[in-house]
C-alpha cells in the first residue's frame, strides 16, 4: 500500500517541523505547504497551532486556511487539529478579555483554565470514550500538554434526538484544575489539545491510529 499523503498547513504559526517529522516517522508522506490545491488533494490535513487564538486565526485567514478546512470537512475529507489548531475549531476564544471568532465547527468558547498553576505544562492522563479510534490501544497512556486555555464544555450532540443515523462526537477529557476537552473525534474532524508529536510512543501511536482512518 502507498503511504497516505498528509499536508501540514503552513500558515506561519505552530510547531510545524516537529509535526512533520512525527508524521513521517509513522509512515505518512508529508508536505508542509499552504497551497490550497495540495491541501485539498491530500488524504489528510493537519492544522497545528501554538500561541494566541486570535493570532492563529489571523494566520489561517491569511492563507485561506478557514476556507480549506471548511471545504475539506464539507467533502468528508479528514482534518486533524493540534493544540490551538484544535481550539480554533470552536466558535470563539477569549484571551485577556478579548473575543476572537473561531472556525465554528463546534459550539463553545475557549477560555483560560481555572487552575492554581497555569500554563498546564507536562504529562497528563486522559479519559477516552468507548469506541475511540484515536486512542485505540493507548487509552491509559499519558500525553504532553502545553496550554493555558481550553474548551471546558462540549455541547454538540448532547441534545440530539434518539436517531441511529446520528453519531455524536466522541469527546476525550483531561483535568487540570477542572475538566477540559483533551480531544474530539467528530466524523472527518479530529483534534487534540495535547501535542501528539511531543508525546513519545503514545503520541506516535495516536498519529498512526489517525493515519489508519484516512483511507
Q: Where in 66-176 does DSSP place strands (E)?
A: 79-82, 90-95, 98-101, 106-112, 120-125, 142-147, 149-151, 170-175
Cα(61)–Cα(79) distance, rounded to whole angstroms?
17
Cα(163)–Cα(50) distance, rounded to whole angstroms?
38
Give the phi and the psi of residue 4 in degrees, each rounded to 5: -65, 140
Cα(156)–Cα(143) distance, rounded to whole angstroms?
25
For residue 163, the model assigns a pLDDT of 47
Cα(37)–Cα(23) distance, rounded to whole angstroms?
20
Cα(102)–Cα(157) distance, rounded to whole angstroms?
19
Active site residue 83: yes
Q: Which residue among 24, 70, 83, 167 is the active-site one? A: 83
Q: Which residue among 147, 176, 185, 197 is the active-site one? A: 197
Q: Which residue among 120, 147, 176, 195 is the active-site one? A: 195
For residue 93, the model assigns a pLDDT of 98
Domains of the chain: 5-211 (3.40.50.880)
Q: Are 179 and 70 in contact (CB under 8 A)?
A: no
For residue 15, the model assigns a pLDDT of 67
b or e along 153-163 (b: 16 or more beta carbons within 10 Å of the residue's beta carbon)?
ebebeeeeeee
- Tell me which residue has cell 492554581: 116
For residue 210, the model assigns a pLDDT of 98
Q: Give, for all 215 residues of the chain, the pLDDT tens digit.
A: 799 999 999 998 766 899 999 999 999 999 999 999 999 999 999 999 989 999 999 999 999 999 999 999 999 999 999 999 999 999 999 998 899 999 999 999 999 999 999 999 999 999 999 999 999 999 999 999 999 999 999 999 865 555 444 689 999 999 999 999 999 999 999 999 999 999 999 999 999 999 999 97
For residue 167, the model assigns a pLDDT of 82
Give the phi and the psi of residue 159 in degrees, each rounded to 5: -120, 20
How many residues are recorded in the chain? 215
Q: What is the pLDDT of residues 156-213, one digit of tens each?
A: 986 555 544 468 999 999 999 999 999 999 999 999 999 999 999 999 999 999 999 9
For residue 174, the model assigns a pLDDT of 98
Q: Are 214 and 103 in contact (CB under 8 A)?
A: no
Partners of 9 in the β-ladder: 33
Q: Are 3 and 27 in contact (CB under 8 A)?
A: yes
User: Between the CA of residue 198 and those of 38, 175, 205, what are the distances in Å?
Assistant: 26, 19, 12
The secondary element (H helix, E strand) that includes residue 107 is strand 106-112
For residue 12, the model assigns a pLDDT of 87
Amino acid at each position: 500500500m502507498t503511504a497516505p499523503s498528509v499536508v501540514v498547513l503552513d500558515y506561519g504559526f505552530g510547531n510545524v517541523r516537529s509535526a512533520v517529522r512525527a508524521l513521517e516517522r509513522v509512515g505518512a508522506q508529508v508536505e508542509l505547504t499552504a497551497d490550497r490545491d495540495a491541501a485539498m488533494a491530500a488524504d489528510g490535513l493537519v492544522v497545528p497551532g501554538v500561541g494566541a487564538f486570535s493570532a492563529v486565526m489571523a494566520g489561517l485567514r491569511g492563507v485561506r486556511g478557514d476556507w480549506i478546512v471548511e471545504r475539506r470537512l464539507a467533502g468528508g475529507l479528514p482534518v486533524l487539529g493540534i493544540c490551538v489548531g484544535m481550539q480554533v475549531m470552536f466558535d470563539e476564544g477569549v484571551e485577556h478579555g478579548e473575543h476572537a471568532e473561531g472556525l465554528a465547527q463546534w459550539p463553545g468558547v475557549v477560555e483560560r483554565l481555572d487552575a492554581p498553576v497555569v500554563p498546564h505544562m507536562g504529562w497528563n492522563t486522559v479519559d477516552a470514550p468507548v469506541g475511540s479510534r484515536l486512542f485505540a490501544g493507548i487509552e491509559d497512556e499519558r500525553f504532553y500538554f502545553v496550554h493555558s486555555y481550553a474548551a471546558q464544555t462540549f455541547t454538540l450532540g448532547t441534545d440530539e434526538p434518539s436517531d441511529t443515523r446520528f453519531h455524536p462526537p466522541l469527546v476525550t477529557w483531561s483535568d487540570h484544575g477542572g475538566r477540559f476537552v483533551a480531544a474530539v473525534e467528530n466524523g472527518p474532524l479530529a483534534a487534540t489539545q495535547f501535542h501528539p508529536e511531543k508525546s513519545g510512543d503514545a503520541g506516535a501511536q495516536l498519529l498512526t491510529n489517525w493515519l489508519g482512518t484516512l483511507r
